[in-house]
Structure 1
Amino acid sequence: MADNNPKDPSAKATDRLNQISSHITPPPASANTPRRRRRKSDKDALPADYSDILGQISTIQKMGATPDPNNRGYVRQKQAGKLWVRERVEQLLDPGTFVEVGSVAGTVKWRKIAEMREEPVEYTPSNNVQGFGKLGGRTILFTADDFSIRAGHADGAIHAKTKKMEQLAISLKIPMIKLVDGSSGGGSVTTIRKEGWSYIPAVDTFHQVFEQLNQGIPNLGAVVGPAIGLGAARVVSCHFSVMAGDIGSLFNAGPNVVAGATFEEGLSLTDLGGPAMHCTNGTIDNLAADEAECFEQLRTVLSYLPNHGLDVPPKVPVDDPIDRVCPDMRTIIPRKKERMYDARKIITSIVDEGSFFEIGSLWGTTAICGLARLGGQPVGIISLNCEVNAGAIDALGSQKLARHLKLLDMFNIPLVQFIDIPGYAIGTVAERSATMRHGITLAGAYYATTMPVFSIVTRRCFGVAGGVMVGCREPRMCVAWPSGDWGSLPLAGGIEVGHAFELKELQKKGGPEAREKRYKELEEEYKRLMNPVRTANAFGVEEIIDPADTRRVLATWVGHVYEVLLPQRVLERASGKLQPRFT
């Protein structure tokens, strides 16, 4: 008869556990049973920690980082007085911050040393060193051409590496620095022979380049050798560019190609596209004495810029009081209106001490522009240069200022401008160089940009040019100095135009003496009526201030801009309401 008494629950659980254990744990082997051994394969003989692969990488990296003093390209680089590419990287970046990307990209010759074992014996790196680093404490991306390898022409992985860096700059929103020496990946006829076929040229990296420019991701370039073709295009398509005066040059094609196309023979690199050519026509923004100064200028410009257009420019600590009085400004403008003065002294006296960095000093010299700080906060600077063409804006001056306006707009930098302008340049040279065409392009830049603008009329403000500069924002922020002098036309010439019939009739009737007498009467009357206080009486100018107080007035405005206006501007850019463009 079956036992109907239920089994104790704890006993059932113990039986079940023993059953499971018997399935998991194998029975103990007897002493006489031989142990089965796994056969070692060739793969198992390789080190478990992959030290062989890591060793190969380390060896290749060491080869790439060690210059060969017998290499023809390296010898040529040194004989030209140029730094080797990795020496440049060391001098550019903050010490110990270089992290290379694509460190073993290149051509390797291997030697077999055992089954499934080989070691690198020769290595030709890709002719462009790229990666991450820090510049003035800021994380950046950079590309640096190696002219010692095929003069920087397309080779190995240079195209893929460069495109990757351009893409990373956009996705990570990190500034990009470009050291150009050679063609920077441009084509060479030897590439056709190597590949066995010719090709239709492509510059697909420029899609990323222009996206960076218009997103406000800083692109800064330096010409540290001959920048040829694509290399020239890469450095010119930057927000800021600088050329080393001792070794730099830039051209679409070299002297040999030019000789065959235009029959200009015997040209040197400097003759064709040296600093005297391209630092004076606006192709390159600034000139530096050598590579070290190039690197310093790159650091300086970056210090004024945010990492991208959705941020405000960085503020730095400053010891210069914002309410500092500048008494020299009361006498810097001569009472005799025909006399000149140093416009740069006004700028350097009012901004934070030592903070003014001029851009484009050798071209478009009727205008002065650059970056500075007020209370530690970056501002853009525009002034007219009365020492060149009396400060009348010519075609190159218009181009320079238009480019600067777009730079400031792209990086959310407020503009401070010192106005002393007689108008657009006049005369046959001005007409031949299309001054009005470029002047209207400048006007378009003033009205298309939206960064805050504050104007100080230090002396003259005449004509269309003056009206555009002062009236580009609504409501305008504008004050004047007691030396202010303004109107549709300057008196010199303006009286002749406005009273031409009267003066002509007087000369007919009373001779030159009568005409001269009436002219002086009119001149005296107009000078009395053009007293700037009369303009302020009619609220034609918001305020006439003591020039010594200009720094305080500007610093107060800049402080408000950074506290209130720029955060709002950044939000509008993020939402798509504002879409500034550099190109």
Structure 2
Amino acid sequence: MTPAPAPASAAAAPVQAPACEPGLDRLRELIDLKERARQGPDPKATERQHAKGKLTAHERIALLLDKGSFTEVEALRRHRATGFGLEDKKPYSDGVVTGWGTVEGRTVFVYAHDFRIFGGALGEAHAQKIHKLMDLAIAAGAPLVSLNDGAGARIQEGVSALAGYGGIFQRNTKASGVIPQISVMLGPCAGGAAYSPALTDFVFAVRDISQMFITGPDVVQAVTGEQVTQNGLGGADVHAGTSGVAHFAYDDEETCLAEVRYLLSLLPSNNRELPPTEISADPADRTGDALLDLVPADGNRSYDIRGVIEELVDDGDYMEVHAAWAPNIVCALSRINGQVVGIVANQPSAMAGVLDIKASEKGARFVQFCDSFNIPLVTLVDVPGFLPGVDQEHEGIIRRGAKLLYAYCNATVPRISVVLRKAYGGAYIVMDSRSIGADIALAWPSNEIAVMGAEGAANVVFRREIAAADDPEAMRQQKIKEYKEELVHPYYAAERGLVDDVIDPRDTRSVLARSLAMLSSKDAELPCRKHGNPPQ
């Protein structure tokens, strides 16, 4: 049977376009908008950024995160401000790139100022993007990295910009001790903007392109008459070696961001996790024969404690924090038998390893960080005491030295101390002695633990006998010998239970590894309280 012909009206109906084409157009538009946001409002702005030796925000994020892992949020955000010409300038992203990705497979949140847009200055929308990202990082329990390259508050937005900084500071404080916070200085950071990095755990800086200051050189000159360059006032080396604001300083962005990745590999994602462990090819029971030669028996001879650290840790690899500031104490993150540890050590090659104001504050801050993030502490002690002097006393060595004492006493992580050579006076107590809560206290056979050195003690205790003697110097030497034999001999502290064991220096690594393994399940609780009130 022949089928009936189709109705004329049906045959004449126009062909309909596929329903998906309008969606494809929108998708192409979206892709184009995001690419424009990535490139910035002015192609020449990228050229200017590169001409300064600086990378763009997206280039920096690509170096920091695992390849292809970055997920950007609010890429199309624009400000709503009017006046002062802003209504005609509404670039996408509003000068900050925000999102998350991974570092060695673990989630990390990041925001990066885009100096090509408004000089990276912070406005209301800009700040809200950062607020949202910080809230996400806290909720997800993942580290937060800020790549700072901004000109401060956006003047055209007035108090709204200042309020934006307040929101950042409040979240920095809320996240403190909850998630690791790392600030990377990759350009200017002036005025109130500088306080956010100061609230974070670690500050990285790059020479020649990083500057941080509350008031710039022009204001300093106008107020004080002092002439100074931006780098001379707040450059990377100034803050790494003089002010202590920066923990690390590097020559270029690539090296800096690679070191940020390394630091993140040593840290837990949050305060509810343990640091990541690694299987180490370096035997835990490896003997350290070199230690016998590294540390001189003569307490007056200096040596570099970093050589001792290299012998004790896995493959001699460690990351020193604040290397250029307060060099008389060394703070470092490393691994022993694959377990992350924080190492605090007196440095006899700098000021004989004495504790002063800067060293106390440096050590206290590091101990508090390690305790916040479940990183065991290993303390290597070789300290002659606190630095005497009018300046130290007048500048508050009592309250500022007490910061280190408070930090150790408050720490609940596994704590192991090793007296390598001398440990005198209050400095011995402060350097995580048994009496303030060290879980394991060890000493080498060369140790001298006492109120003070034998020479000084003899001069005080036996001064009358020495003065009355026919040969005062001979009497003095005799009394020094007696004092050493009675009170400073290596086993005096062990006999009184203040040292758990006097060990062969060559066995230090294996003893530390076994002690850390034993303490891995340590459970210590502080009294119930809102928070302590540490000395300031």
TM-score, normalising length from structure 1?
Answer: 0.81
In structure 2, relative to structure 1, the CA distance for the partners of 1:310 and 1:221 (3 Å cut) is same
Superposition deviation, residue 206 in structure 1: 2.0
Superposition deviation, residue 504 in structure 1: 3.1
Q: Which digits, 9 at most, give the CA deviation of each residue in 1:214-241, with x for residues without a partner?
A: 32x1111111112222432222221111
- 2:121 aligned residue: 153
- 1:142 aligned residue: 110
| Identity value in percent | 29
CA–CA separation in structure 2 for the residues paired with 1:361 and 1:492: 32
Instruction: Compare 305-314 and 231-240 and name the one that shifted more.
Output: 231-240
Higher radius of gyration, 1 or 2: 1
1:246 aligns with 2:208: yes
Q: 1:89 aligns with which of 52, 61, 78?
A: 61
Instruction: Give the letter for the 2:482 counterpart.
Output: E
Q: 1:66 aligns with which of 28, 31, 39?
A: 39
In structure 2, relative to structure 1, the CA distance for the partners of 1:51 and 1:579 (3 Å cut) is farther
- 1:353 is paired with a residue of what secondary structure? helix
Task: Give 5+ residue unaligned stretches, structure 1.
Answer: 1-30, 36-43, 109-120
1:282, 1:360 within 8 Å by CA — same for their partners in 2? yes
1:69, 1:75 within 8 Å by CA — same for their partners in 2? no
1:371, 1:380 within 8 Å by CA — same for their partners in 2? yes
- 2:503 is paired with a residue of what secondary structure? coil
Q: Which digits, 9 at most, give the CA deviation of each residue in 1:473-523, with x for residues without a partner?
A: 4474111101101101112322112222333344xxx4xxx2112111111
CA–CA separation in structure 2 for the residues paired with 1:251 and 1:122: 29
Superposition deviation, residue 279 in structure 1: 0.7
Q: 2:419 aligns with which of 437, 440, 457?
A: 457
1:227, 1:251 within 8 Å by CA — same for their partners in 2? yes
CA–CA separation in structure 1 for the residues paired with 2:394 and 2:236: 25
1:278 aligns with 2:239: yes
Q: 1:435 aligns with which of 359, 375, 397?
A: 397
Instruction: Give the letter for the 1:270 counterpart.
Output: N
- 1:479 aligned residue: 442
CA–CA separation in structure 1 for the residues paired with 2:19 and 2:529: 60
Structure 2 counterparts to residues 95-134 of structure 1, below 5 A:
95-106=67-78, 123-134=91-102
Superposition deviation, residue 176 in structure 1: 0.5
1:453, 1:473 within 8 Å by CA — same for their partners in 2? no
- 2:85 aligned residue: none
Instruction: Give the letter for the 2:448 counterpart.
Output: D
CA–CA separation in structure 2 for the residues paired with 1:449 and 1:561: 14
In structure 2, relative to structure 1, the CA distance for the partners of 1:54 and 1:201 (3 Å cut) is closer
2:40, 2:116 within 8 Å by CA — same for their partners in 1? no
Structure 2 counterparts to residues 137-536 of structure 1, below 5 A:
137-155=105-123, 157-183=125-151, 186-192=152-158, 203-215=166-178, 217-265=179-227, 267-280=228-241, 281-469=243-431, 470-471=433-434, 473-474=436-437, 476-506=439-469, 510=470, 514-529=471-486, 530-536=488-494
In structure 2, relative to structure 1, the CA distance for the partners of 1:127 and 1:442 (3 Å cut) is same
- 2:505 aligned residue: 547
In structure 2, relative to structure 1, the CA distance for the partners of 1:489 and 1:269 (3 Å cut) is same
Q: Which digits, 9 at most, give the CA deviation of each residue in 1:359-388, with x for residues without a partner?
A: 011111110011111110101101001111
- 1:182 is paired with a residue of what secondary structure? coil
Superposition deviation, residue 123 in structure 1: 4.5
Q: Which digits, 9 at most, give the CA deviation of each residue in 1:4-63, with x for residues without a partner?
A: xxxxxxxxxxxxxxxxxxxxxxxxxxx99x99xxxxxxxx99967633433332111111
In structure 2, relative to structure 1, the CA distance for the partners of 1:541 and 1:174 (3 Å cut) is closer
Instruction: Compare 472-481 and 436-445 and name the one that shifted more.
Output: 472-481
CA–CA separation in structure 2 for the residues paired with 1:65 and 1:581: 46
Alignment root-mean-square deviation, CA: 3.2
1:419, 1:459 within 8 Å by CA — same for their partners in 2? yes
TM-score, normalising length from structure 2?
Answer: 0.88
Structure 2 counterparts to residues 33-48 of structure 1, below 5 A:
none
- 2:516 aligned residue: 558
Task: Give 5+ residue unaligned stretches, structure 2.
Answer: 1-5, 11-16, 81-88
- 1:459 is paired with a residue of what secondary structure? strand
In structure 2, relative to structure 1, the CA distance for the partners of 1:354 and 1:578 (3 Å cut) is farther
CA–CA separation in structure 1 for the residues paired with 2:56 and 2:165: 29
CA–CA separation in structure 1 for the residues paired with 2:497 and 2:388: 31
